[in-house]
Copies of this chain bind each other. A is one copy, B any other.
Amino acid sequence: MQSVNLGLIGLGTVGGGVARLIMKHHDKYLEHYGIDLVIKRACSRDQAEAERIGLAEGVFTPDWHDVVNDPDIHIVIELVGGEHPATEIFEESFKNGKHVVSANKALLGRHVEHLASLAAECGVQIRCEAAAAGGIPVVHALEHDLVGNDILTIAGIMNGTTNYILSRMQHEGLSFEEVLSAAQAAGYAEADPTADVDGFDAASKIAILSSIGFQTRVTTDDVFMQGIRNVSATDIEMAREFGYTIKLLAIARKTDAGIDVRVHPTMIPNSHQLASVDGAMNAVFVVGDAVGETMLYGAGAGSFPTASAVVGDIMALADPIAKGGAPLPEQEPFGRNMPIRPIDELKTRYYVRLTVEDRLGTLAACTNAFAECGISISHISQTESEDGETCTLIYVTHEALEKDIRKAEATLEALDGIREVSSIIRVENIDAWTEGVFAN
């Protein structure tokens, strides 16, 4: 049996968790799987981190080149995040014949094709289970367990911070700003929450998952993205009245018109499994033509849950190495570019909340604006506001095209008597997710 030498780059929340998990369970991995994991080098800007973790002397280095150039290291674990020097860490590791395990969704969401090509060329593997939905083994499910299927839909809650915020807004009737501040104070949200609340983090993850699941190239820039800043306590309350819950969903579907891929606040029926995923938890629905609906649920972030995914990847690479063999090289990227369906072509139901002046004719004018754009309405309700000057008008449409809704939005905004189009939230057609599943 051969020891498997690891080079860890990044010793923050995730890197620290990985190091601690490996040190804690080293003997168990050896006893049960015959795999002797050795943290040969560990790199961080801050030596104190290495000391706190209790890494052996001589393991620490402040220079990542020492890790990727160490000829004894089999697997490099890149946990620094961001594009640089992460890209260079990948590239130099590959050139030196090292496999790379990474949790870097920002990088992989944008550049997986370049990196996978290079890995394939160098005969090594990239593994990135931790880059999408943390501890939940959804990357692996798409890459291996479900490969017998044609994957039809991947959809879910892939950002814990926004789900935590929406859950608290829902249960406590608080505003977005109130919960965000509380979440920042408690360490559940970053000081700069942009990547989470504006949807970028979820967009990176759905780009990675849909590239793997649909065997095509989807990058973060292909994903339509809208965050949760505009979701109000009123919207959540109205959704509840209709039997719906608002979640920030990342949704990717293979349609005849191309890949429909988007991140936005979404109304889903309370009876759907995703509606009851609360707090910082993540859940990913995967629909395959053979397997039908499946869902994977778990912690999408956090030191040890993410470390669980990273160590799972390490062990998959380590298994053949320990037995004197080598992991299979990365598959050549697909070279296939299915078109991305523009968001304008989305056809779904919409919830529209308007703040209007409380005067004769406004309701008729608004209703008319929808009709002019070819949108038919399934529900209208009106409530007076506390200031006595404005009302809230809620419209729920029948199925309409996104481009017609945009037209209606512009028309409405130009109307006299309209203060603002306060929010537009898509009501997801959940039934479409399972179109194409085989009958048993």
Please pick, from B147, B299, B319, the residue contacting A311 in the complex, using a CB distance under 8 A.
Answer: B147
Among A106-114, A132-140, A416-424, the stretch that binds chain B is A132-140
Give the interface size bracket for A toward B: 35 or more
Segment 19-39 of A: residues with Cβ below 8 Å from B: 21-22, 25, 28-29, 32-34
User: Are A292 and B297 within 8 A (Cβ)?
Assistant: no
Nearest chain B residue, comparing its CB with the CB of A292: B299
A174 close to B (CB within 8 Å): no
A342 at the interface (CB under 8 A from B): no
What 1/0 mask marks residues of chain A from 288 to 332 whose CB sits below 8 Å from any chain B CB?
111111111111001111011111101110011001010010010
The answer to whether B297 and A311 have CB atoms under 8 Å apart is no
Most chain B CB within 10 A, of A129, A148, A309, is at: A148
Tell whether A150 is near chain B: CB-to-CB under 8 Å: yes
**Across the interface, do B298 and A291 meet the contact criterion of CB distance under 8 Å?**
yes
Asked if A145 and B150 make an inter-chain contact with CB atoms under 8 angstroms apart, the answer reads: no
Contact (Cβ within 8 A) A297 B297: yes
A440 and B150 form a contact (CB under 8 A): no
Q: Kindly report which residue of chain B lies nearest to residue A139, judged by CB atoms.
A: B145
Give the distance in Å from the alpha carbon of A148 to the alpha carbon of B245 in the complex: 35
Contact of A297 among B22, B145, B294, B312 (CB under 8 A): B294
CA distance A34 to B273 in the complex (A): 36
Cβ-closest chain B residue relative to A285: B297
Whether A25 pairs with B150 at a CB distance below 8 angstroms is: yes
User: Are A440 and B293 touching (Cβ within 8 A)?
Assistant: no
- Residue A379, interface by CB 8 Å: no
In the complex, how many angstroms separate the beta carbon of A249 from the nearest chain B beta carbon? 17
Q: Please name the residue on chain B nearest to A329 by beta carbon.
A: B323
Q: Which residue on chain B has the smallest CB distance to residue A281?
A: B293
Quick check: is A359 within 8 A (CB to CB) of the other chain? no
The answer on a CB contact under 8 Å between A308 and B328 is no
Residues in B neighbouring A136, C-beta threshold 8 A: 294
- A386 to B36, alpha carbons, bound, how many Å? 68
Picked from B135, B289, B331, the residue with its CB within 8 Å of the CB of A294 is B135
CB-based contact A334/B32 at 8 Å: yes
Do residues A297 and B273 form an inter-chain contact, with CB atoms below 8 A? yes
Which residue of B is nearest A141, CB measured?
A: B137
Chain B residue at minimum C-beta to C-beta distance from A314: B148
Q: Is the pair A288, B308 in contact by a Cβ cutoff of 8 Å?
A: yes
Indicate if the CB atoms of A215 and B303 lie closer than 8 Å: no
- State whether B140 touches A312 (Cβ < 8 A): no
A312 touches B147 (CB 8 A): yes
Determine how close the nearest CB of chain B comes to the CB of A317; give it in whole angstroms. Answer: 11
Known contacts A296-B296, A302-B440, A323-B328: A147-B290 contact under CB 8 Å: no
Residues of B within 8 Å of A293, CB to CB, are 297-299
Which residues of chain B are near A33, meaning CB under 8 Å? 147, 331
* Assembly CA distance A319 to B295 (angstroms): 26
**Of B28, B129, B294, which is within 8 A of A298 by CB?**
B294
Report the minimum CB–CB distance from A8 to chain B (whole Å).
14
Interface membership of chain A positions 330-353, coded 1 if the CB is closer than 8 angstroms to chain B and 0 otherwise: 010010000000000000000000
Task: Decide: A148 and B25 in contact? CB cutoff 8 A.
Answer: yes
Q: A140-B144, A312-B146 are in contact. Are A296 and B294 (CB under 8 A)?
A: yes
30 contacts between A and B (CB under 8 A): A17-B290, A25-B148, A25-B150, A29-B147, A136-B294, A137-B294, A140-B140, A140-B141, A144-B315, A144-B316, A145-B312, A147-B315, A148-B311, A148-B314, A273-B273, A273-B276, A273-B297, A290-B304, A290-B311, A291-B299, A291-B305, A292-B302, A292-B304, A294-B297, A294-B298, A294-B299, A295-B297, A295-B298, A297-B297, A323-B328
9 smallest CB-CB distances across A and B, nearest first, come from: A148-B311, A137-B145, A294-B298, A291-B308, A135-B291, A290-B308, A295-B297, A290-B304, A302-B440
Please name 8 further chain A to chain B contacts, defined as beta carbons within 8 Å, in addition to the given A144-B316, A296-B296, sorted by A numbering: A34-B331, A144-B315, A145-B312, A146-B308, A148-B307, A273-B297, A289-B304, A292-B298
